[in-house]
Amino acid sequence: MNALLARIPWKYALRRALTALPLVWGVVTLIFLLVELSPGTVVDKFLTPETPPEVRELIVLKYGLHEPALHRYLLMLRNLASFDFGRSMSNDVPVMELIATRLPNTLLLSVVTLLAIYPLGIALGTLQAVREGKLADNAGSVISLFFYSMPSFWLALMLQLLLTYWWPILPTSGMHDTMVDFMSPSERWLDLALHLVLPGVAIGLASSAGVARYMRSSLLEVIRQDYIRTARAKGLPEHRVIGVHALRNALLPIVTLFGLTLPMLFSGSVLVEQIFSWPGMGQLIVQAIFAQDTPVIIGCFYLFTLLVVAGNLLADVLYAVVDPRIRLE
Partner 1 sequence: MLALAGVCLWAVSGLPRWNAVLFPNPGGAPDLHAAIALPSLVLAIGALGREARRFLDADARRRSPFALAFASNPTAMIGLFGALVLAALALFTPLLAPFDPNLIDAGPKNTAPCFAYPLGTDTFGRDLLSRLLYGGRISLSIGFVAVSIAATIGTTVGAVAGYVGGWVDAALMWVVNLILALPRLVFLLTIVGLFRTTGAQSLMLIVVILGLTGWPGVSRIVRSQVLSLKEQDFIQAARSLGFSTPRILFVHLVPNVLAPVIVFCSLAVGSTILAEAGLSYLGLGVPPPTSTWGTLVTDGRESLRVAPWVATFPGLAIVWAVMCFNLLGDGLRDTLDPKLRGR
* Residue nearer to partner 1 on the CB measure, 165 or 182: 165
Among 266, 276, 278, 319, binds partner 1 (CB under 8 A): 266
For partner 1, the closer of residues 19 and 58 by Cβ is 19
Are 279 and 176 spatial neighbours (Cβ–Cβ below 8 Å)? no
Decide whether 38 or 230 has the Cβ nearer to partner 1: 38
Burial of 10 (0-12, 13-18, 19+ CB in 10 A): exposed
Query: Which residues in the 93-152 window bind partner 1 by CB under 8 A?
Result: 145-146, 148-152
Q: What residue ranges in the chain does DSSP mark as E strands? A: none
Instruction: Let me know: does 244 contact 112? Beta carbons within 8 Å.
Output: no
CA nearest to 124, candidates 197, 202, 214: 214
Answer for the pair 121, 211: CB distance below 8 angstroms, yes or no. yes
* Residue 216 lies near partner 1 (rule: CB under 8 A): yes
Among 228, 286, 313, 315, binds partner 1 (CB under 8 A): 286
Q: Which of residues 15-54 bind partner 1 (CB under 8 A)?
A: 22-23, 26-27, 30-31, 34-35, 38-39
Size of the chain in residues: 329
* Residue 271 touching partner 1 (CB under 8 A): yes
Give 112 or 262: the residue with its C-beta nearer to partner 1.
262
Helix (H) or strand (E) holding 326: none
| Binding of partner 1 by 76 (CB under 8 A) | no
Q: Does 308 bind partner 1 (CB under 8 A)?
A: yes
**Comparison of 148 and 191: residue with beta carbon closer to partner 1:** 148
CA distances to 81, 194, 315 from 183, in Å: 42, 14, 39
DSSP code for 164: I
Q: For the CA atoms of the chain, what is the radius of gyration?
A: 24
Nearest distance in Å: CB 84, partner 1: 21
Q: Among the residues of 251-291, which ranges form H helices?
A: 252-275, 281-291
Footprint on this chain of partner 1 (rule: CB under 8 A) = 22-23, 26-27, 30-31, 34-35, 38-39, 145-146, 148-154, 157-158, 160-161, 165, 216-217, 220-221, 263-264, 266-267, 270-271, 274, 282, 285-286, 289-290, 292, 297, 300-301, 304-305, 308-309, 312
